[in-house]
Chains A and B, each alone.
Chain A
């Protein structure tokens, strides 16, 4: 927690807000939480949303503001996926932690009479472990508050979720992101042209952490003046031409050409999941293919996405998608002819 040796801290950590009010976010979340802080009356909470939107930051900030630096260690227990969270381990740790009576109050901080247990990355806990937590939560409900944090709320079992006040952290809008970025620029003495600011937001796609990382990279490689073109060159987004080339190869009806483009995507090292999502945008927006063709293509895109998550080979999946897209566009039958 302490800002030890900031010099070797990457900017994302250096600029992690320490106070709830500094968390750039939909005001709603901040308002409710500020209220909580004032009354020091706090329910169990569940934060969910995509990476880099401020969930962990907010949870740590609340805990910090409630107890201050000195009591923090005694009153706050942070358990995350880097700890072993088998059922027994969690139970014992929580038991040991909750058993010690809440002690003194520290001047200047609300110090409410309960302890906080932060379960970060809770969606990676097994269902059994979550079920076991229900009992634990009840047993210690007088003396503890739980903060659950996760990316996918669907992975949290209903009985747990329903016990919590839920806060959804949406991908940050361009406006909110820009404000934070500009703040950092000021601190670091950087000049961003307005266009660079908006490309930074579009590169990051709502993930402020990513935006900050690229800002730092940009600053290190280009010095204190950063333009949009330079940012894009280092950002690793898949250039539109690459996806367009793949798409036109599909339209050409020439399998070998499509295969060549697929191989090229792999050789250039673009993430196939990203290519697929950009291909999806093109398909949905194009107005010279029918809805039926579109649905045929999208069905395969969804399948391939799942296969990639399962760890399937990127080239084979991409080739399969391109082949299927081509067959849909060229109105080849959906059924294969020689399948037995």
Chain B
């Protein structure tokens, strides 16, 4: 088992990073009338861990016994019938799913699948908890229609079904849905907090951590705990005993983006654009999300540019990412950004050096 999973705290009491939030959640879960929750925060900040620990707090160890299922629902969409496929993760008390996976059919998932689940009150033989929990991931990726469809369901069946929503950017969740939840902000852990976790794992694994090494790992990980732990384990495989200045590997895809950045700073030509396109495709086919590629590319470029150009380039990055969101083929917009950059940079070089 990977360390990220192995050392995921199972209960709210064992959480190291968001201790205060965890304690508050614990008190909230003590009563049965917990409101709907919306967890938001950057990826790798520990939302999922808290949610799983919260479920355990509510339902005890049986919340851990989950079954993965691929289900297909037949949905009557007025004029025709469609099949909606979705993977769910369920215990006897909760169901977890990612409704945005249904793409443009996400509205049907909310209207048919989720509403049905919410309606049916769990029949509990021991007469204990009379409600179930639905965990919906990536709600910020849901279409507006789908989000609208959630609204009344969240009110009508609030006694039998408590929702836990999870997302990265709460700006993308409509105001009406946010108003129906307790918003729980999960900030990315600071470097110091990451160090604490790494030291904890180190101790459990019986490893010797040289001074400063954990901090270097933390700094490399961009405040993502998941990332830090993954890096830690990779380093452990590469070299043990650790040395404090041991190389910390970058992610493959990041090195690749770094390469693209230096490619386009070196030469601005149609030929180069064509080469870069191949590399962008490569990244996309490896399932790196387009906006992550664009952000990383911007990050690399900003490191090398004059301040005057920084403004201009970040303007275009925002511009093309927005267009990408509205369009369908992300490669076009990535490529357009690269071409734009080349043209600006070339203009700059000519103006400065003639």
Binding site for B on A (CB under 8 A): 4-14, 50-52, 56, 80-84, 86, 88-89, 120-121, 124, 151, 207, 209-210, 213-214, 216-217, 220-221, 234, 236, 255-256, 259, 266-274, 304, 307-308, 310-317, 319-320, 323-324, 326-327, 332, 336-340
Contacts and interface: CB of A to CB of B under 8 A. Distances in A.
Given A8-B131, A83-B111, A316-B321, A216 B35 contact: yes
Nearest to B169: A314
Interface of B: 23-24, 27-28, 30-36, 40-42, 45, 76-79, 108, 110-111, 115, 129-131, 144-145, 148-153, 155-156, 158-160, 162, 169-172, 175-176, 179-188, 223, 291, 294-295, 298, 302, 307-312, 314-315, 317-319, 321-322, 325-326, 343-345, 347-348, 351
Given A266-B42, A340-B343, A82 B322 contact: no
A82 B318 contact: no
B188 to A, nearest CB: 4
Nearest to A88: B78
Given A313-B295, A320-B318, A268 B188 contact: yes
Given A10-B35, A121-B152, A316-B317, A338 B179 contact: no
10 interchain residue pairs of minimum CB distance: A269-B41, A338-B347, A320-B318, A51-B179, A80-B152, A10-B35, A124-B148, A273-B171, A267-B188, A86-B78
Nearest to B291: A313
Given A56-B155, A84-B78, A308-B171, A337 B42 contact: no
A253 B117 CA distance: 54
Nearest to A86: B78
Say whether chain A's binding surface is mostly helix, strand, loop, or mixed.
helix
Given A217-B28, A267-B223, A5 B152 contact: no
Contact of A8 (B32, B76, B115): B32
Contact of B35 (A12, A82, A83): A12
Contact of A82 (B30, B152, B171, B176): B152
B312 A338 contact: yes
B39 to A, nearest CB: 9
8 contacts: A9-B33, A82-B153, A86-B77, A217-B28, A220-B28, A255-B310, A316-B295, A319-B317
A82 B159 contact: no
A151 B223 CA distance: 38
Given A221-B24, A271-B40, A312-B322, 13 more contacts: A14-B33, A52-B179, A81-B151, A121-B176, A151-B176, A308-B172, A311-B325, A312-B325, A313-B295, A319-B314, A332-B311, A336-B311, A340-B343
Contacts of B310: 255, 259, 323
Given A120-B152, A269-B186, A6 B159 contact: yes
Contacts of B162: 8, 10
Contacts of B30: 220
Contacts of B156: 82
Contacts of B169: 271-272, 314
A84 B344 CA distance: 49
A267 B35 contact: no
A82 B115 contact: yes
A81 B338 CA distance: 42
Contacts of B171: 271-274, 308, 314
B28 A267 contact: no
Given A236-B185, A271-B171, A5 B159 contact: yes
A9 B159 contact: yes
B182 to A, nearest CB: 5
A51 B188 CA distance: 29
Contacts of B344: 336, 338-340
Given A124-B144, A310-B326, A312-B321, A8 B160 contact: yes
A86 B326 CA distance: 24
Nearest to B344: A338
Contacts of A311: 172, 325
